[in-house]
Structure 1
Amino acid sequence: MSVFPVEKPILHVRMPVRASLRLGPLGDIWHKPAFSAVASVAVPQFALLLAGRPDLAAYAAGGSLCALYGHGLPYTARARTLAWVVAGMLASIAVGLITASLTDSTVLRVAVAALLAGAHKATCDAARIGPPGHVVLTFVAVSAAFLPQRLADVPAHLALALAAGVVAWLVGMAPALVRPDGPERIAVARALEAAARLLRASSGGQEPPQARHAAAATVNAAWQTLLRAGTAGSRAELRRLLVRAESAAALPARHAAEADSFTAWARDLRKGRPLPVPGRSEAPGEDAGEEAELSGVAAERPRRHRLLPEVAGRWRVVMMVAAGSALAGWASMALGVGRPYWAVVTAAAVFAANTTLSWNRALQRVVGNLLGVALFTLVVPLTRLGSLALVATVLVMQFLTEATITRNYWLGSVFVAPMSILMTQFAGVQPVGELVADRWLDTCVGAVAGLAACVLLPDRRAARRVHEGLERLERAVAEPSPTDPGQARAARDRLNASLVELREAADTAAGEWWSTALPQERITTAERAGHRKLTELTGPARGAGVWTEERSREATE
């Protein structure tokens, strides 16, 4: 049994403002969820307009928003994931609608909404569903819990949500008809670009640890995508490119001259051009090592990440999110706000991996919603021209949300806020002043309550996970280097996964305001040893078990 050192807790107070609001680059596939969401929302909304029932639009919206998920997955995995998302969305809507039909108590509705928020957060984290995570599920389900409802109408409303979910599934799968290997191309292109950035940093005499970690994490994610895609079609050629990127990430000094080639290959992959065919590596003797790597991959590459975190961690998330969301909803009630579910959703959206990230999200949400309600007041006169104008405005806001949210959450929130307010107008026109006041007050209450729950319930196991990650990495480094390609491939997978997990655990623990001191020197030493071991398992010398002191020094300089 491992014994972890007991250290005196220390306080970390990190509440950045400028960094939290700084805009990042536009996401490389921002257009995919943007256009998918618009298409999947537009079909049922316009159908309801033609049927003269725009009041039912809120029920279709939940199914439509399932199109936001799964855009980084290969299509075989995306089909299953989208189906599960649609099923989860329907189950959540059903709980909300049944609650609304059985009780008029706002206290009970908030309680159910808070439990749903906690369950969504824990489930999405455990499944690593990816963006937009639990927030959309929670928004739809919590909104359903506050819709006027009769129990007899629930089946019909669920059927409408299911129909919209089917449309979302079809929209999400439609690009497979044009480019069936699109997600795999993007994943490998990202790995090549990350490796190129590392090579340029290395050739310039500076190799920041962040660049090496980013390259390792991106390569790891690309392998996961290719594994899920299977072996048909162009996967063999893509694996060859990824092996080259992985070798370069492990031995940047030996591949420094290939940075431009990696960038050009990535560009070809993104633009749908014929798959690049790598020539002979400019690193002497590297081609034989790459053939050995491909043989190891063919020998069955194991999955690298654990899909489920520890049970205690999941329950902590459920309790923390549910407590913060319930506190937000009940506080909103006490203040006389007519839509406390907005406070519940805000509190649920605040929760992130650690306290610092939760602070960032709370600040971003408050700033974005403040600007968003101002935008709502500007566009609301246009929406009063008729149902068609209302639907068109919602679609524009949906597109702008997905186009901007990758740059910073606050910027996306500028368009999320008016969109969610406008969706309440499908059931009937409501006073603008009341809507603005409710949204702004609920945002502030939800942000404060969510952040308070994060501060009062910090992740006290964060430091322990760092120690566990250290032990896994040190064991992986201590393993003898196998000569069999399949065994070498598996050893390298374990080592690379240990490096990525340790860095993620250390970054998460460092962002908690209350934790034990981290063994920074030991972490640095273990990461350096891990990267040295990666070079030992990479390249032509690996298969023969040859590792010289000169190559070891070259790999780590």
Structure 2
Amino acid sequence: MKMMAEMFSIAPGDKDHHPALRCAVGVFVPLLTLVLLGRLDLAIFASFGAFTGIYGRGEPHGTRFALQLRAGLLMLLVILLASLAARAGGVLGMDESGTTWLLVLATTLVAGGCSVAISWFRLRPAGSLFHIFAFAAIASIPNQPPLAEGMLVAVLVTAFCLLIGFSSRMLPSHRSPWAWPRPLRRTPDERRAAWLEGAGYLVAAGLAGTLATWAGQWLGFGHNYWAMVAAVVPLVGHTTRHRVRRGVQRIIGTVLGLVVLAGILLLGLEPWQTVLVMALCQFGAEMFIIRQYLVAQVFITPLALISTLLVVPASPAILLRDRIIETVIGAAVGIAVVLAPTLRRRLRRA
């Protein structure tokens, strides 16, 4: 009963509208610009470049800029690697099945490597969820735009989000000290924890991607990387209870978010209206991501799928089906990985 109460409780707000507004503007302006230019094929590069703005949300301006700069550079590296990976299958002469498994392997390595990097730089939000999503989503695009154009958009949007991050310094009431953070000094325990966490992400993402790919080939559904993203959600948290709760919240929030998405799709929105909805979803996600993960997921789900539809049009019914199946597979794997150490200890005592 206690876990159920915690699952649906909402923590009090703490000026969450400030980072939410920054993130919403960071998504809306670049995507609207691409709509006006008729270059929605580059929208996914803008969307992931805008992820720079979610870091350092409650920090003073100087610290926030440093954290966002590190996060932005890491995301740009992931975007570049994803663009190159998307072309690797054709260069190597691999068939569709071989390319799929290659991307599962590459995404697994990104999951582990970026988790270590995030821990190393002490970035928040923790974990490599966004990097898994960015790498796999971009690498899965069948018709890649020119590499230089995609990277240019990603770099410009990253720079734009950095500007937004310290824009409030123009207001005396919101101005905070501009002090560059001290160099990071990591203890041996911190380094060990970073590598262990990276191993957990490697196992969870790899196992989820493998199971989702096998099941997809057997049952005929796709988007295996959604399972990999869902699998690492339970890995964030200080206690086993909290981690398991996040996995369950991911599933419930996804179901509710799909209902919202179905309603949005029924409206038949124009591209500029779709971009506005994405900005509103980004705002809602940042408003609740710290306070109530389930509610945040209601906004995150339509945001993620709409961004996919902008670049790779597909049947909405198939997307809805794939999202819930992949989420259940991934969340179940993530919860299993979280519970495995506890079960192992109990078996040793038996």
TM-score above 0.5, yes or no: yes
- Mapped to 2, the partners of 1:306 and 1:62 lie a distance apart of 29
Q: Structure 1 pair 513/133, CA: closer, same or farther in 2 (3 Å)?
A: same
Q: Say which structure is richer in helix.
A: 2
Residue in 1 aligned with 2:201? Answer: 321
Unaligned regions of 5+ residues in structure 1, if any?
A: 1-14, 185-225, 231-301, 459-511, 517-557
- Mapped to 2, the partners of 1:310 and 1:34 lie a distance apart of 30
SS of the counterpart of 2:172?
coil
1:448 aligns with 2:332: yes
1:90 aligns with 2:76: yes
1:508-523 to structure 2, matched below 5 A, reads none
Unaligned regions of 5+ residues in structure 2, if any?
A: 90-95
Residue in 1 aligned with 2:227? Answer: 343
How far 1:304 moved relative to its partner?
Answer: 11
- State the one-letter code of the partner of 2:122: R
> Number of aligned pairs?
333
- Mapped to 1, the partners of 2:115 and 2:172 lie a distance apart of 32
SS of the counterpart of 1:417?
helix
1:116 aligns with 2:102: no
How far 1:34 moved relative to its partner?
Answer: 0.8
Residue in 1 aligned with 2:92? Answer: none
How far 1:180 moved relative to its partner?
Answer: 7.7
Taking every aligned residue pair, what percent have the same amino acid on both sides?
A: 26
- Mapped to 2, the partners of 1:403 and 1:371 lie a distance apart of 17
1:352-363 to structure 2, matched below 5 A, reads 352=236, 353-363=238-248
1:60 aligns with 2:53: no
- Mapped to 2, the partners of 1:417 and 1:180 lie a distance apart of 35
1:394-543 to structure 2, matched below 5 A, reads 394-456=278-340, 458=341
How far 1:402 moved relative to its partner?
Answer: 1.2
TM-score normalised by the chain length of structure 1: 0.56
Residue in 2 aligned with 1:167? Answer: 160
How far 1:358 moved relative to its partner?
Answer: 1.9
1:63-462 to structure 2, matched below 5 A, reads 63-103=49-89, 104=96, 105-131=99-125, 134-150=128-144, 153-179=146-172, 182=175, 306=186, 309-336=189-216, 337-352=221-236, 353-382=238-267, 384-456=268-340, 458=341
1:33 aligns with 2:27: no
Q: Structure 1 pair 180/123, CA: closer, same or farther in 2 (3 Å)?
A: farther
- Mapped to 1, the partners of 2:108 and 2:199 lie a distance apart of 10
- State the one-letter code of the partner of 1:83: L
Residue in 2 aligned with 1:479? Answer: none
How far 1:27 moved relative to its partner?
Answer: 2.7
Q: Structure 1 pair 180/414, CA: closer, same or farther in 2 (3 Å)?
A: same
- Mapped to 2, the partners of 1:23 and 1:36 lie a distance apart of 26
Q: Structure 1 pair 35/391, CA: closer, same or farther in 2 (3 Å)?
A: same
How far 1:514 moved relative to its partner?
Answer: 5.8
How far 1:157 moved relative to its partner?
Answer: 0.9
Q: Is the 8 A contact 1:355 1:513 kept in 2?
A: no
How far 1:22 moved relative to its partner?
Answer: 2.8
Measured against aligned partners, the alpha-carbon deviations of 1:132-178 in whole angstroms (never above 9, x if no partner) come to 6533233222322212255x822321111111101111111101121
Q: Is the 8 A contact 1:89 1:141 kept in 2?
A: no
Query: Greater shift after overlay, 411-420 or 78-87?
Result: 78-87
TM-score normalised by the chain length of structure 2: 0.87
Higher Rg: 1
SS of the counterpart of 2:335?
helix
Residue in 2 aligned with 1:214? Answer: none
- State the one-letter code of the partner of 1:25: A
Q: Is the 8 A contact 1:332 1:445 kept in 2?
A: yes
- State the one-letter code of the partner of 1:381: L
Q: Is the 8 A contact 1:455 1:513 kept in 2?
A: yes
How far 1:354 moved relative to its partner?
Answer: 4.2
How far 1:515 moved relative to its partner?
Answer: 5.5
Q: Which runs of 4+ in 1 moved over 3 A?
A: 179-184, 302-312, 512-516
How far 1:365 moved relative to its partner?
Answer: 0.6
- State the one-letter code of the partner of 1:120: C
SS of the counterpart of 1:433?
helix
Q: Which has the higher contact order (CA 8 A, sep 6+)?
A: 2
Query: Greater shift after overlay, 410-419 or 153-162?
Result: 153-162
Q: Structure 1 pair 55/381, CA: closer, same or farther in 2 (3 Å)?
A: farther
Measured against aligned partners, the alpha-carbon deviations of 1:421-445 in whole angstroms (never above 9, x if no partner) come to 1111112432121011100001000
Q: Is the 8 A contact 2:110 2:132 kept in 1?
A: yes
- Mapped to 2, the partners of 1:78 and 1:54 lie a distance apart of 30
Q: Structure 1 pair 307/120, CA: closer, same or farther in 2 (3 Å)?
A: farther
1:42-61 to structure 2, matched below 5 A, reads 42-61=28-47
- Mapped to 2, the partners of 1:370 and 1:393 lie a distance apart of 19
SS of the counterpart of 1:385?
coil
SS of the counterpart of 1:335?
helix
User: What is the RMSD of the two structures over their aligned residues, measured on CA atoms?
Assistant: 2.6
- Mapped to 2, the partners of 1:172 and 1:308 lie a distance apart of 32
Measured against aligned partners, the alpha-carbon deviations of 1:31-50 in whole angstroms (never above 9, x if no partner) come to 12210111111111111111
